[in-house]
Amino acid sequence: MASTLQLVQQDENKVDIMIDSGAATDVCTPWFAPNTPMYSLEHGQGPQLRTATDENIPVYGYKWVRMTNVNKQQLVTFFVCEVTQPNLSVTRLAEQGFNIQPQSIQKSCGQATMDDIHTTRHQLCDKGTSKILVTQPTTLDQQKLKHLLRYKGTQHYRFYVRPAVRTMDTTPDLDVFVGSDWAGCATTRKSTSGFVIKFMGSTIHFGSRAQATISLSSAEAELYAITTGATESLNIRNILQEALNVKKVNIRIHTDSSSGKSMATRVGSSKKAKHMELKHLFIQQLVQHDLVRIIKINTANNTAEIFTKYVATSTLFRHLNDAGLTTQHY
């Protein structure tokens, strides 16, 4: 969960240094800044460093190194220990005036793609729902990010794409599960669309999107989620048609919203939907031309719910296998 920044040492040699949003202090290897003297530490002084597996890291001493970044020079205290690469703490750099915190947060958020933390990553990093965290982070935002980086709930899980059914003799099916969280963002009051796409019984694509338009009802938010699922599945359909050399791919969109399904399958807009933009009603044309089918399912069977909101632990682990995460090895 770190990015790399190239800084210049006082002897004009360039070196790549890791910028870690989770580190508490600045550390370096013994070979770093060879022209800078290393000072010893008195007994009990210096930070207590530990590895990710909770093993102690001995600290040999410290160095004062003059660093340059964006025409700014600053003396940085590096604690010398056995690490693979010099590592700078985002918190320490922010205290010293280095303007790199947004880059580090953006890089860290970009790495969080597992199913069980996808909702958290989305709320932290999506520009539509987080007051542009990537470019204007606050101390609270950094605390939330660190809390996410400490999460180890499913570190032993793996994402598998493993077909469970055969479609050689039949028309292939794309099953799309969609859901939404109406006005879930407390700041912008925008909703979130989540989707899970399965092919041959295996999850091949998932994600969440911040809805660009503020929904006036949960039914409207569900319709936008259905539209998102349809556009994502149409793209995959085109790829499958070319790769498998088939003329048709059945797209079945599963939703737990009766009102959202009703709005997607009727022709035209109702009295309460006249304010909606026409681009969101193209799903009706897809249904009329039998390119897409809308199927109502129970909320308990909708895997996409874990991509739209925080859910109970029991609900999360119940849907993880359907989303492609499992502890089994194939």
Please state, in angstroms and rounded to a whole number, the distance separating the CA atoms of residues 78 and 61: 9
- CATH code matching the domain that covers 2-97, chosen among 2.40.70.10, 2.40.10.10, 3.30.56.10, 3.60.110.10: 2.40.70.10
Please state, in angstroms and rounded to a whole number, the distance separating the CA atoms of residues 104 and 125: 12
Percentage of residues in the chain with pLDDT exceeding 70? 70
- Residue 4: its pLDDT value, please? 40
- Write out the DSSP string of 171-206: --EEEEEEEEETT--TTT---EEEEEEEETTEEEEE
Give the pLDDT band of residue 124 (cuts 50, 70, 90): low
What architecture (CATH level 2) is domain 158-326? 2-Layer Sandwich (3.30)
Per residue in 192-233, pLDDT (tens digit) is 999 999 998 899 999 888 898 899 899 999 999 999 999 999
DSSP 37: P
Give the pLDDT band of residue 44 (cuts 50, 70, 90): low
Please state, in angstroms and rounded to a whole number, the distance separating the CA atoms of residues 89 and 62: 15
Tell me the range of 46-50, 53-57, 288-292 where mean pLDDT is highest: 288-292
Tell me the range of 27-31, 98-102, 188-192 where mean pLDDT is highest: 188-192
- The angle subtended at Cα 131 by Cα 130 and Cα 136, nearest 5°, is 110
Percentage of residues in the chain with pLDDT exceeding 90? 25
Pairwise pLDDT comparison (161 vs 123), residue with the higher score: 161
**HSE toward the beta carbon, residue 88, CA cutoff 13 A:** 28
Q: Which residue do the tokens 């550390």 mark?
A: 27
DSSP 307: G
Please state, in angstroms and rounded to a whole number, the distance separating the CA atoms of residues 252 and 128: 28
- Residue 291: its pLDDT value, please? 93
- The pair of structure tokens assigned to 282 is 């193209």
Pairwise pLDDT comparison (226 vs 52), residue with the higher score: 226
**HSE toward the beta carbon, residue 254, CA cutoff 13 A:** 18
- Residue 228: its pLDDT value, please? 94
- In the predicted structure, residue 102 carries a pLDDT above the cut 60: no
pTM attached to this predicted model: 0.61
The residues spanned by each domain of the chain are 2-97, 102-149, 158-326
- In the predicted structure, residue 111 carries a pLDDT above the cut 70: no
Give the pLDDT band of residue 236 (cuts 50, 70, 90): very high
- Percent helix, strand, coil in the chain, to 5, is 30, 25, 45
Give the pLDDT band of residue 58 (cuts 50, 70, 90): confident
The whole-angstrom distance between residue 10's C-alpha and the CA centroid of its chain comes to: 38
Pairwise pLDDT comparison (195 vs 78), residue with the higher score: 195
- In the predicted structure, residue 5 carries a pLDDT above the cut 60: no
Q: Which residues sit opposite 261 in a β-bridge?
A: none
- Residue 41: its pLDDT value, please? 82
Tell me the range of 153-162, 187-196, 275-284 where mean pLDDT is highest: 187-196
Closest by Cα among 69, 67, 74, 72 to 28: 67
Per residue in 80-100, pLDDT (tens digit) is 887 777 777 666 666 666 554
- Residue 70: its pLDDT value, please? 55
